[in-house]
Structure 1
Amino acid sequence: MDASEKTKYKLAGAVRELMVFTPVDRITVKQIVERCDVTRQTFYRNFKDKYDLINWYFDKLAIVSFRQMGVSLTLREGLIKKFEFIKGERCFFTAAFKSEDHNSLLQHDFDFIYEFYKDIIKKKYQKEIPPDIKFLLEMYCRGSIAMTVQWVTGGMKRSTEDMAELLVRALPPELAELLNDFKK
């Protein structure tokens, strides 16, 4: 890991610690840099704002589970991994999903999974995705994120396996056909 990556993780650690007792929307860059003993200039060299930092950290966590989809994991297995990561970072995700800023993790998570699934579907179609499939995909992604946020902020009472199973079952049939079998 290079120095820049270490700095980013150091900043992510600081924001994670602050999120334990301060709502995300009230955390300042000043608090983050003071907590990990770096300058504001260092922060802004790496991130445009605290939401960019939070979204970067989310990407680092989520990519581990999603990158295996299509290689060795099914959709269900990938979702279980994602929920296990979320559960392992419970404080981070609970605080991050409560933010209402337009740059919040909620929109970033939508963009992330929508593009991920869209790329898989594009490969299967070998051409542009039909508008009705795009509509179903957007609806599914928004719904799955809403249910994930509800699960996280509601105390994660369902098991990760149950959450994954329910999200797989919630797929519209046209999407299920395209997404349940990632292997080529």
Structure 2
Amino acid sequence: MQRDATKYRLAEALRQCMRTSSIDDITVRQIVERCGLTRQTFYRNFIDKYDLVNWYFDKLLHQSFEQMGSGRTILEGLERKFEYIQEERIFFTSAFRSDDHNSLKEHDFELILQFYTDLIQKKTHQSPDENAQFLLEMYCRGSIYMTVKWVLSGMPQPPAWLACQLVRALPAPLAALFSQLSLLSSEGQV
């Protein structure tokens, strides 16, 4: 519990730094000075600042993924995810601007791809076939791209709009699979 408290202190310091600087311009020194911790404490908890961003992202979105896996629809889970992103606008706008190898874009892709893969495996008791896996990867890349575009353009549409668009963009075979697994609305449409 103490370790999480330290991580949250570092995350809050990072959020404060992001109000005036992009993630690429923020240093670990700035983060630890802002929260009164040492660089050694930072590196005991995180590999680098991008690891901190990704940890904080995981914490913010954990609940939306839990809801998607506990009987709620993909649409509802995505809406919740985008509401969190909107609430943390400053954090996500700065974090999504980075193209570092350990960036939030790549982390979000890996996280959502693994989530969908695990969800299919949990519901069907088998891994997605090669075709479904290909479509999942393609869909998740496009989904992340559109999420980043929405965030960096100032989030002009409400979260429900983006969630609806992403569900509508599901490739037909994935939409059919998700409908069969009761992950879409009762009619299989939004």
TM tier relative to shorter chain: over 0.9
What is the count of residue pairs matched by the alignment? 182
> 3-state DSSP class of the match of 2:69?
coil
Cα deviations across residues 101-136 of structure 1 (Å, max 9, x unaligned)?
110000000000000000111233322321111110
RMSD: 1.2
**C-alpha distance in 1 between matches for 2:38 and 2:151:** 33
Distance 1:18 1:30 in 2: 11
CA-CA distance at 1:173 after TM superposition = 1.5
Q: TM-score, normalised by structure 2?
A: 0.92
The alignment status of 1:152 with 2:151, answered yes or no, reads yes
Note if contact 2:82-2:159 (Cα within 8 Å) is conserved in structure 1: yes
- 2:90 counterpart residue number: 91
Residues 33-52 of structure 1 aligned to structure 2 (within 5 Å): 33-52=32-51
How big is each residue's C-alpha offset from its partner over 1:19-75, in whole Å with a ceiling of 9 and x where there is no partner? 111111111100000000001111011101000000000000111111111314211
The residue aligned with 1:125 is 124
- 2:114 aligned residue: 115
Higher relative contact order (CA 8 A, sep 6+): 1
Unaligned ranges ≥5, structure 1 = none
Match of 2:188 in 1: none
> Are the counterparts in 1 of residues 96 and 152 from structure 2 also a CA contact under 8 Å?
yes
Separation of aligned partners in 2, 1:125 and 1:3: 39
Contact kept, 8 Å, 1:10 with 1:36, in 2: the verdict is yes
Alignment-derived partner of residue 65 in structure 1: 64
Displacement of 1:177 = 2.3
1:179 counterpart residue number: 178
Which residue in the other structure is 2:187 paired with? none
Alignment partner of 1:170 is 2:169: yes
Structure 2 unaligned regions, length at least 5? 185-190
Q: What is the CA–CA distance in structure 1 between the aligned matches of 2:168 and 2:66, rounded to whole Å? A: 22
TM-score (norm 1): 0.95
Identity %: 57
Say whether the 8 Å CA contact 1:124–1:178 is kept in structure 2. Answer: no
Aligned to 1:105: 104
Classify the secondary structure of the residue corresponding to 2:10: helix
Q: Contact conserved, 2:117 with 2:127, CA < 8 A, in 1?
A: no
Q: CA deviation at 1:150?
A: 0.2
Q: Note the C-alpha offset of 1:179.
A: 2.7
